[in-house]
Amino acid sequence: AGGEEETETSLPAPMFSRNTISVFSILKKCIGQELSKITMPIVFNEPLSFLQRITEYMEHTYLINRACSLSDSTERMQAVAAFAVSAVASQWERTGKPFNPLLGETYELIREEQGFRLVSEQVSHHPPVSAFHAESLVGDFVFHGSIYPKLKFWGKSVEAEPKGTITLELLKHNETYTWTNPTCCVHNIILGKLWIEQYGTVEILNHSTGDKCVLNFKPCGMFGKELHTVEGYIQDKSKKKLCVIYGKWTECMWSVDPQVYESQKKSEKKGDVHFDRNKPEVDRAVNDDADDMPDVQETVSVVPGSTLLWRIDPRPAHSSTMYNFTNFAMSLNELEPGMEGILAPTDCRFRPDIKAMENGNMDEASQEKERLEEKQRAARKERAKSNQEWSTRWFQSGTNPYTGSQDWIYSGGYFNRNYRNLPDIY
């Protein structure tokens, strides 16, 4: 599995047009509620499970490898910060909803050329919780977490708050970093053009010292000046700013000396008008018009003396007819010859609804999705009848040793490939 072979960079079929479907009637009744119980037409999905969407964090694993190789601790933190931003960059223009994983569903990915392997499992259905564990193939790092996406419908937009801690351990440096992803918002779900915004403060903590990196994903604000902007700094334990980090999560991230940055900003500010950029989402939901994406140039103005930390890879040419997937995303359903006999039978790649959608068979996808959900409900009823508890297979509920928060910890053994007694979920 994985290996050096060329990975798939195209899907079997382009996506189905959504233009003819009105969601208004479905969503009108649900303002302010959690979305997890509302059934949306499958045409709003993308042919990936949420477990695969999480795996996209690994697209820029080279940044973790870079962090491992650096001897300067501030430079390591810079690489980790760039990784944390790059991990959410694949969300850009991805308005398709991933499939909700079924309880017990798993996903694995081995990438020898990027030097990691990953396993994930859907460990809870209500509330939905996805746990993942990735490790370096040469023992340099471990990267793990559990994500509880909390969805809120705000009339014109859907907000996904990714609750749950992400932990990165750089083993040779004895360093552990933890953070939580920013909130992701999809605008204009009823009318107008769909677009994506991410906002919130991401704090990356170095648990060996208490030093931290604070990254502010800015809301675009009324005039859109700050659309996609990320700005922050790294400070040591005495709160001294060591460097400023800035850029756009859709484009690139830079670091620069704090004094250089401040003096640049001061000279730019002269003549600038002040306005409130932190207008909350709820306010925007009151009128009926679409909230159009502000028309701004997608470029970061680089402060002289800055160092480039990360730049996004261009999407493939056919991306726009394929759910705006990156090359990495396009490869996630790939079943290489020989893999079928090796993978756990619970792997997302065997989900018939996702496969049908990927092949462009929307009716089949919709029927299969319904069938799987019904099968899951029936299995739950059976367990309730016989007083059986669901037991997770590869992860155990526990406490994150660094943050003290509730987390799911990998119990090991997945890659021994003993897949007897796995539940029949498809």
Nearer to ligand NAG, 174 or 416 (CB): 174
Does residue 194 belong to the site contacting ligand NAG (CB under 6 A)?
yes
Nearer to ligand NAG, 253 or 343 (CB): 253
The CB-of-28 to ligand NAG minimum distance in angstroms stands at 22
The CB-of-155 to ligand NAG minimum distance in angstroms stands at 20
Does residue 320 belong to the site contacting ligand NAG (CB under 6 A)?
yes
* Segment interacting with ligand NAG, rule: CB under 6 A, options 92-100, 120-128, 274-282, 310-318: 92-100
Does residue 259 belong to the site contacting ligand NAG (CB under 6 A)?
no
**Gyration radius of the chain's alpha carbons:** 22
Using an 8 Å Cβ cutoff, are 205 and 219 in contact? no
Does residue 147 belong to the site contacting ligand NAG (CB under 6 A)?
no
- 344, two tokens: 């756990």
* Segment interacting with ligand NAG, rule: CB under 6 A, options 59-67, 73-81, 149-157, 415-423: 73-81
Neighbours of 60 (CB within 10 A): 23
Does residue 93 belong to the site contacting ligand NAG (CB under 6 A)?
yes
Backbone dihedral angles phi then psi of residue 229, each to the nearest 5 degrees: -75, 140
Nearest-CA neighbor of 184 among 123, 247, 248, 93?
Answer: 93
Nearer to ligand NAG, 261 or 408 (CB): 261
The kind and range of the H/E element at 45 are strand 45-49
**Rounded-to-integer distance, Cα 118 and Cα 106, Å:** 10
* Segment interacting with ligand NAG, rule: CB under 6 A, options 58-66, 251-259, 320-328, 349-357: 320-328
Using an 8 Å Cβ cutoff, are 184 and 88 in contact? yes
Q: Please write down the HEC assignment for all residues of 382-419.
A: HHHHCCCCCCCCCEEEEECCCCCCEEEEECCCHHHCCC
Does residue 11 belong to the site contacting ligand NAG (CB under 6 A)?
no
* Segment interacting with ligand NAG, rule: CB under 6 A, options 20-28, 91-99, 114-122, 223-231: 91-99
Of 135, 175, 197, 353, the residue at the interface with ligand NAG (CB under 6 A) is 175
Please state the separation of Cα 242 from the chain's center in Å: 28
* Segment interacting with ligand NAG, rule: CB under 6 A, options 70-78, 103-111, 297-305, 353-361: 70-78
Backbone dihedral angles phi then psi of residue 234, each to the nearest 5 degrees: -110, 130
Nearer to ligand NAG, 170 or 230 (CB): 170
